[in-house]
Chains A and B, each alone.
Chain A
Amino acid sequence: MPDESPSITADQVQHLANLARIALTPAEIEHLAVELGSIVESVRKVTEVATPDVPATSHPIPLTNIFRADVVGDTLTNEQALSGAPEAFDGRFRVSAILGEEQ
């Protein structure tokens, strides 16, 4: 693991942690910045072998148009869906007030 100055900054780790809703201590941020930097470095190595004429792929096997049958199947009843919820009201999950904005 390289221990020179990381390619990922502490601010970036903090920002990622916020997006992932994870609370990190300063020590953890420092530790993760180094680790993430190391991962980024490793991934960067791929660009050394993948020349621009190699198209990016999102799947290892080049399959396309794989669909499941469009048929109606059994679904959970309203009661079943809510059976594990700590609180339910009027057929819906009841949760503490949502303060954030919709995305």
Chain B
Amino acid sequence: MRYSISLGLALGCSIAESSRFARKNYFYPDLAKNYQISQYDEPIAFEGEVEVELDDGTLVRIPIERAHMEEDAGKLTHVGGATGRIQGAEYSLVDYNRAGVPLVEIVTKPIFGAEHRAPELARAYVGTIRDIVRSLGVSDARMERGNLRCDANVSLRPRGQEKLGTRTETKNVNSLRSVERAVRYEIQRQAAILAGGGTIIQETRHWHEDTGTTSAGRPKSDADDYRYFPEPDLLPVVPSKELIAELRAALPESPAVFRRRLQTEYGFTDGEFRDILNANLLVEMEQTVAAGAAPAQARKWWLGEILRIANARGVEAGTLISPFHVSELIALVESGRLTDRLGRQVLEGVVAGEGSPDEVVKARGLAVVSDDAALLAAIDEALASQPDVLAKIRDGKVQAAGAVIGAVMKAMRGQADAARVRELVLERAQG
């Protein structure tokens, strides 16, 4: 209840004086009791507005119709057939672990006039919702895990026409990128039908990530067929003014304000900052810096090695490692206990689930050898085996030390600070 009110407030919504639950009746194996507890005529939050920023910085206001609570349904997996789709499946697996878990459904009003930028706007909007939900601590909002889902409604109408065209609702959109792709596909599909003189059928469609297309699902049911009625087992919710005021006071700053503040605090250029936004790593950045890392270092690791691994694996960078661990890793490198190269190996270990950076350092024995005795032994050995180099260094040809430094680093398996080795080599050569 508190989460849904906070979320409603963050979306600029009015909070209902009285809100109640309803039963939505339908038979489908994703809910074992044949009805879903939802909200119908008295949602907890309604009539809001959220500001969304497009890639080039353009701000667009998205009107919110309502935000209501309902229970999640179970997860179905269709097995067999070539594609894992319903058609051709041999059997289905039902997982009720998330059934009955509360969720909030946010419904926008129709958004007009985005034209060719509609797909981008849809993605930016879902990204903003994700940022808001995460900033409130309501959910991790990982689309690939189904924490955050999107049903994208698309309809077309001729320029100048008042009445909206028939819409379709596309489900199974599992990433921000897919939101944009699915909306673009659906616009093009509908445009082709309309241009050919056809009509759009109001229906649910399924997005297929692999082919980048949508396919027809069931025709949209008549709301009457769900035979909504007030849920007899749950009583109406009447949030007190005090509760709403308390939750309003506790709201974090909006993602838009948050972005502007961080950019100023970090002192990044627009371009540097946009890279972070485009990689969806702002929250990770903020938490990494809050944990003690310098913004420039945090940016370097997130946009560098971590993003590289994420891209290679086709996952979101934020799923690979926690901001706290990134901060710990940066601290290890900054303190000289790890070189950048060793830092990357430690990162690899953390990503592989071997524990915290500190634990990986210990388990893999990766720390820089800062024990001068061990270094000196290796240096003396290297100098002894390369007497010509030693002579050159003594003649003042300092650059010749490179060969010895290289030999020492090799002997240390890279786990030494090259600058310190160089210092000791020169000291020893003069010895």
Contact = CB atoms under 8 A, between A and B. Distances in A.
A58 B94 contact: no
Q: What is the size category of the interface that chain A forms with chain B? A: 20 to 34
Contacts of A63: 235
A56 B308 CA distance: 59
Interface stretch (A1-9, A27-35, A45-53, A64-72): A64-72
Interface string B212-231: 00000110010001010011
Contacts of B225: 19
Contacts of A98: 28-29, 76, 78, 86, 89, 92
Interface of B: 1, 18, 20, 25-30, 36, 73, 76-78, 80, 86, 89-96, 171, 204, 217-218, 221, 225, 227, 230-232, 235-238
A94 B93 contact: yes
Interface string A69-93: 0000000000001000000011111
B204 A65 contact: no
A93 B93 contact: yes
Contact of A66 (B217, B230, B235): B235
B99 to A, nearest CB: 11
A59 B18 CA distance: 14
A97 interface: yes
Given A89-B93, A92-B94, A97 B204 contact: no
A92 B89 contact: no
Given A19-B227, A65-B238, A97 B78 contact: yes
A98 to B, nearest CB: 4
A81 B95 CA distance: 10
A43 interface: no
A102 B28 contact: yes
Given A59-B232, A64-B18, A95 B218 contact: no
Given A59-B232, A101-B218, A64 B237 contact: yes
B contact patch SS: loop
Contact of B92 (A21, A64, A97): A97
A64 B89 contact: no
A102 B89 contact: no
A96 interface: yes
A19 B91 contact: no
B238 A64 contact: yes
From B36, B93, B221, residue with most partner A Cβ within 10 Å: B93
Contact of B25 (A19, A59, A92, A99): A19
A100 interface: yes
Nearest to A95: B92
Contact of B221 (A66, A92, A103): A103
B237 A96 contact: no
A98 B27 CA distance: 12
Nearest to A87: B91
Given A92-B77, A92-B95, A21 B86 contact: no
A89 B96 CA distance: 13
A38 B381 CA distance: 104
Nearest to A20: B27
